[in-house]
A and B are shown apart, each in its own frame.
Chain A
Amino acid sequence: MNHVANPTGIGASVKRVEDLRFVRGKGRYTDDIRLHGETHAYIIRSPHAHAKIAKIDTSRAAAAAGVVMVITAADLAKLGGLPCGWLIHSKDGSPMKEPKHPVLAEGKVRHVGDSVAVVVAETLAAARDAAELIEVDYEPLPAVIDMSKAAAGPALHEASPNNQCFDWHIGDEAAVKDAFAKAAHVTKLELINNRLAPNAIEPRAYIADFIQATGETTLYTSNQNPHVIRLLAGAFVFQMPEHKLRVIAPDVGGGFGSKIYHYAEEAIVIWAAGQIGRPVRWTSDRSEAFISDAQGRDHKTVVELALDKDGKFIGLRADTLANVGAYLSTFASVVPTILHATLLAGNYTTPAIYCNVKAIFTNTVPVDAYRGAGRPEATYLLERVIDLAAIETKRDPAELRRINFIAPSQFPYQTPVALQYDTGNYGRTLDMALAAAKYKDFPTRRAEAKARGKLRGIGIANYIEACGIAPSAVAGALGGRAGGYESGAIRVNPTGSVTVMTGSHSHGQGHETTFAQIVSDKLGIPFDQVDVVHGDTARTPFGMGTYGSRSIAVGGSALIKAMDKIIAKGKQIAAHLLEVSDQDVVFENGAFTVAGTDRKKTIGEVAFQAYVPHNFPHDKLEPGLEEQAFYDPKNFTFPAGTYICEVEIDPDTGVTKVVDFTAADDFGRIINPMIVEGQVQGGLAQGIGQALLEHCIYGADGQLLTGSFMDYAMPRADDLPMFKISTTDTPTPCTHNPLGVKGCGEAGAIGSPVALINAVVNALSEFGVKHIDMPATPQAVWRAIQTAKSKT
C-alpha cells in the first residue's frame, strides 16, 4: 500500500463525485430514459389477500383504444417462476417448501397487490383506462395473516398444507437445556420485530428493449445487482442465453435491500418487449410500492437468557416465527436463518445457544432482506433480553455487557452458532460510547428532566454484524445457490487514466468516490483520472452486486487484487523499457523505479508503451494494461460497536423524543470518513424510524392499513437528534482482506432500534414497565404508562 499522503487517497474525506449530478437533478434514473417507440405497462393487481381466480375476461380491454397487448398467466405458460436464491433445510432434513412464484397469478391470488394481468398500451393513461375494462371473477378465501394461527388457516400453497415453509434450527439444544437447568437466573421475553416498508425514494422502474436485428434484450432496472438479475431472469425465468440479455442498472435512488430481488414486473417487461418488438416500460407509483416491494423484518420471538450467579451468560434460547409473506422472495429464506440466528452470540462468550426458526407463509407482501437483514432482528432480541436481565438481576446494563464480552485475546473466536469472528475489541467501543454519552452523569440529566415533567431514559446496545457472505464454499454448504465473491477490473488507459469496472453497484453508497480513492491511493494516479463503471452487465465483469455491507470488503478487495496484477505487469513492461530485470523494479508513488536508482517510468509512460508496444518481446510480454480479478473472501467481516440512546418521554402524551444518540463503531479501516459517517447517519435514521414510527399493519382481511405516507410514518429530520458519531477510530482492522475494511452500510439500522427501546423502557422504569414493542408510538407509550398506573 502506498503510504505517501494522498489528499484523495484512503482515509481522506473526499467529496462525493456523484453528488455533482445528483444535487443538480442531472442523475439518470431508469424513469429518465426514453426510447423510441416505447409502450407503457400497467399491472392489474389483486384487491383480495386470498382468492381463487374463477375467470379473467380481457376482451374489452384488448379492444380498447391505444392498447397494444393484454397479458395474463395463460400467455406466460412457458416461463419459469421467480426463483429463490437460498435453499434452507428443515431440522428433519427436508428441503424448504418452495412453491412456484409465478410472474402473474395462476388461478389464485395470495396477497393484496399480487399481479394478475397486464395491459401494454401507447400511453400510461390508455393502459390504466383499459385495465378497468378487465373483468376478474374472484372467489375470496379466508386470509392467513397472523403467523401464530397460520397452521389452522387455509393453505396458500398446495405444497405447504400447514403454511410452513421450513422449521430450521441451529445450535446445541441439549447443551442449552443443561445451561438453563443450572442457571442462577433466567430472563424470558416475548417480542416482535415490526414489519417495515423499505420506501426507497426512487420507486422501482423497468424498461425492456428488444433488438430484433440481434435478438438481444436490454433491461434497464432500478436494481442493486444487475448481473444477478441477468442470471435469475435469463437462466431461470426465460431460459434465455445470458449473452442475449443485457441488464443495466443506471442511477438508482436507494434500495435498502428491496432492489436486490428479481421482481415479476422485470419479467413482464422483458417478455412483452420480445412479443411486440417495441420497448416496454413500467414505473411503480408509491401506492403500488407499498403492496409490491418486498417488505422487511416481521419476526415474533420468545427469547430466554440463562445467567450464572456472577452474571455470566451461560445459555441463550430463541424461538422465532418469521413471516415470509405469500411467496418466497429471492433471499427470503436466508434472512431469518443464516443472517439472523448465527449472530446470536453477539459480542459475548455465551457458550450454549440454540435457535429455532419457523418460516410461515401468509397472505401478505413477500418479506425479504431490508437494511441489516436478520442482523437487526438478532441484535434486537439479544440486546433486549440482556437489558431486561440487567434490570432483573439489578446490574448496571453496561457492566453486565462488559463482563460477558469476548476479550481481545480470544480472537479468532469460534461462536457456538457457526461464525468465527476474526477480530474485535468490544470494550473499546463501549468505553468510547460511554465517555461520549457522558453515561456517568445521566442521573443528573434524569433529575433535571424530571423537574421539567419529562421522563428521561438511557439505553445501551452493542451490536455485531457479519458482512459479505463468505467464503463461497461455506455459503454453498449452508444452502447458498451462488457464491459470495466479487469482481473488479482495472483498465489503465493509454494516456494513464484508469477505468475501474466493478461488479458491485452504487445506489447511494458513493462507490464512484471511494473506489476511485482506493485506486488513486494504490496506483498513485490522480483521483480525477479514475472513473468507476458499474451497473451494466455489458461493461463490467460478472459480479454479485451490492447488499449486506459487502461492497468495500469484497468489491474493494477485488480491485486490490486486480491492481496487484496491474503492478506486476507494469513491472515487466518497465523492466523491458529500462532494460533491467523484473525483480529490480519497484512500484511506488505512481512510478516504476529501478531499485536504488533514480531511473524510473511513471505508470502513464508504462501504460502508453503498453498500447504502442513496438519492440515488446511478444513471446513473454503481451501488450495492454488491463487486468481483472475475482475475490472470494476467506470469511465474513465483523463490524461491531456500541450505541447509546437517550430519550425524553412526555408522560401526558406518550411522545418519545430522542434527545441524544451516540454511535461508536469499529468498521476496521475507513476509506472515506465523511461517507462512512453519512452511512451511519442514514442507518440510525432508519433504525429510529423502526423503533418509533414505522409499521406495516395488515387488517384481518389482509388489506394493508398503512399503505401510504398518510399512515405509514417515515422518520423526518425533526424526529432525529444531532448524532454523535465516532467513525475515524479503528480499534481493529479486518485481518483477512487486503484493505482491513469491514463494511458500514447497515450498522446504524442494526444497533439503533434496540438502543432506543432500551432507553424507552429505562425512562418508564419508575412505572415498572419491562418491555414495549416497536414502534413505541405515543399511544403505545401512553397506554403502557396507564396500564402500569392502574396496576399500582
Chain B
Amino acid sequence: MYEFDYTRPSSVADAAKARGDDSSYLAGGMTLLPTLKQRLARPDKLVDLSGLAELKGISVAGGTLTIGAMTCHADVANSADVKKAIPALAVLASGIGDPQVRNRGTIGGSIANADPSADYPAAVVALNATIHTNKRQLAGEQFFKGLFETALEPGEIVVKVSFPIPKRAGYCKFPNPASRYAVVGVMVADTASGVRVGVTGAGPCAFRAKDMEAALAKNFSADAIANVAMPAKGLNTDLHATAEYRAHLVGVMAKRAIAAALG
C-alpha cells in the first residue's frame, strides 16, 4: 500500500470533519484493505470509524430492528434479538464470507460499498429498511444506484440501518464457489407493506423482483412463482455464471427463500 495518514475520531461529527476530498472511511476494511494492499487506491487519509460508539449495537423497539453501522456480521448472526425478530437476517449474516470476514466486516461497510454480490443489499431492499446517515434517512429501495454506487453523498456516513420486522422472511443464496459472495441471493419477506422480493448478486445492484412479488401477494408459496420467469436481460455475466444461469438461479433461490420463510 501507499503511505496515508490515519485518524480514529470518537464522534460522527469529528469523523465527518476529518474527511478530506481524497480520504476514505474505514469500516471493517474487508474490501478497502485488499484494495490498498494492491495499490489500486491511494487515499491520503483513512478515517477509521471503529471508535464511534454511536455506530454500534443492536436494538429492537416498536416493531423495528435497528443495527448500528459498525456492527460486524458475526454479531448480527449471533444476536438473540436478531434471531428472534428477523431470523432470516441472522441466517444471511451467518453466511457472509468466512469467520474472519464475519468478525471484521460490518453492515454499514457492506451496504456503503454496494458490491453487487454482497448479501446485505437483498435484505435492505426486501425488508424495506431505512438507512440512517449523519445527514438524513434514506429508504432502502432508493439506496442502491448501480455497481458500487449508492445514494450517499461524498462524506456522508451510514450510522445505522433499521429494519421493520416482517411477518415472515427467508433468505437463500447461491455462493460463488471461490469467494462465497452471492452469485445470486434472494430475500423474500412478507411485510406490512406487502410481499417484497430483494435480489442481490444477479444485477448491477440489488433490486426487487416485482413479478414474483405480485404472484406471492396472492399466494405466499413456492408454487406461486413456478411460472414467473426472471428475464436474463441486464443481469450480470462473469466467469462463474452467465446472465441466463443467474436468471434461473433467482427463481430457484426465491423458491427456497419462500420455503425458509414458511419454516
Interface positions of A (Cβ within 8 A of B): 125, 128-129, 287, 652-653, 692-693, 697, 705-706, 709-714, 719, 777-779, 782-783
Contact = CB atoms under 8 A, between A and B. Distances in A.
A709 B239 contact: no
A710 B248 CA distance: 23
A652 B239 CA distance: 19
Contact of A693 (B38, B177, B241, B248): B177
30 contacts: A125-B3, A128-B39, A129-B2, A287-B38, A652-B252, A653-B174, A653-B249, A653-B252, A692-B177, A693-B177, A697-B239, A706-B178, A706-B239, A709-B178, A709-B179, A710-B176, A710-B178, A710-B179, A711-B179, A711-B240, A713-B177, A713-B178, A719-B177, A777-B177, A777-B240, A779-B240, A779-B242, A779-B245, A782-B245, A782-B248
Given A693-B177, A710-B178, A777-B177, A705 B239 contact: yes
- The 8 lowest CB-CB distance pairs between A and B, nearest first, are A713-B178, A713-B177, A710-B179, A652-B252, A779-B245, A711-B178, A693-B177, A779-B241
Nearest to A783: B245
A125 B174 CA distance: 39
A interface, over-half SS: loop
Nearest to A706: B239
A440 B252 CA distance: 34
Contact of B239 (A653, A692, A711, A778): A711
B209 to A, nearest CB: 17
Interface in B196-249: 239-242, 245, 248-249
Contacts of B177: 692-693, 713, 719, 777-778
A719 B239 CA distance: 20
Nearest to B98: A716
Interface centre among B39, B176, B239 (most CB of A within 10 A): B239
Interface string B141-181: 00000000000000000000000000000000010111101
Interface in B1-55: 2-3, 38-39
Given A653-B249, A710-B178, A712-B178, 12 more contacts: A125-B3, A128-B39, A287-B38, A653-B174, A706-B178, A711-B239, A777-B177, A778-B174, A778-B177, A779-B240, A779-B245, A782-B245
Nearest to A653: B252
Contacts of A782: 245, 248
Nearest to B251: A652
A528 to B, nearest CB: 37
A165 B181 CA distance: 41
Nearest to A128: B39
Contacts of A783: 245
Contacts of A692: 177
A778 B248 CA distance: 12
A394 B39 CA distance: 59
A505 B245 CA distance: 47
A706 B248 CA distance: 24
A131 to B, nearest CB: 10
A182 B240 CA distance: 45
Contacts of A712: 178
Nearest to A650: B252
A493 to B, nearest CB: 46
Interface centre among A714, A777, A778 (most CB of B within 10 A): A778
Nearest to A654: B245
A705 B241 CA distance: 14
Interface centre among A125, A652, A692, A706 (most CB of B within 10 A): A652
B95 to A, nearest CB: 12
Interface centre among A128, A697, A782 (most CB of B within 10 A): A782
A40 B39 CA distance: 18
Contacts of B39: 128
A531 B3 CA distance: 47
A261 to B, nearest CB: 26
Interface in B63-121: none
Nearest to A712: B178
A449 B12 CA distance: 55
Contacts of A128: 39
B232 to A, nearest CB: 13
A131 B132 CA distance: 44
Nearest to B2: A129
